Structures are given as C-alpha cells and as structure tokens.
Amino acid sequence: MLGRALMHVRAAIALRDCAASAPSDIERHLLMKVAAIHEARARKVLRASQSQGRRR
C-alpha cells in the first residue's frame, strides 16, 4: 500500500515540475489539477493503510 502512495506522490511531484515550465496558463492549470488528484489519492491510500494498521 505504501508503494502505491509513493507512486502517487512521485507523480504529483513530476506533474508540478512540468507545470512550472508549462508554456501556457491552461497547461499549467491542467497539470496542477492532475497533481492535486494524485496528492488526494496518496492521502486516501495512506489513510486506508493507517486504518488497516489499527485493526490488526
């Protein structure tokens, strides 16, 4: 599970880096939106991982 969270975090970082050098505002905005989605997914995976740890 933590591997999935890390994958989403890495994707978000890469997308934010791309957004920083995007030639247009529209591209920058889209890349930032997709990065935010990956960040949310990483948080969701981490919460699921933590709740599984509490059940054990």
The whole-model pTM stands at 0.86
Q: How confident is the model at residue 55 (pLDDT cuts 50, 70, 90)?
A: low
3-state SS string over the chain?
CHHHHHHHHHHHHHHHHHHHCCCCHHHHHHHHHHHHHHHHHHHHHHHHHHHHHHHC
Per-residue pLDDT, 28: 98
How far apart CA 39 and CA 56 sit, in angstroms, is: 26
Tens of pLDDT, residue by residue over 2-50, are: 999 999 999 999 999 999 999 999 999 999 999 999 999 999 999 999 8
Angle, to 10 degrees, between the axis of helix 25-55 and the axis of helix 2-20? 160
Question: Residue 48's domain spans which residues?
Answer: 2-55
Per-residue pLDDT, 53: 75
Total domains present in the chain:
1
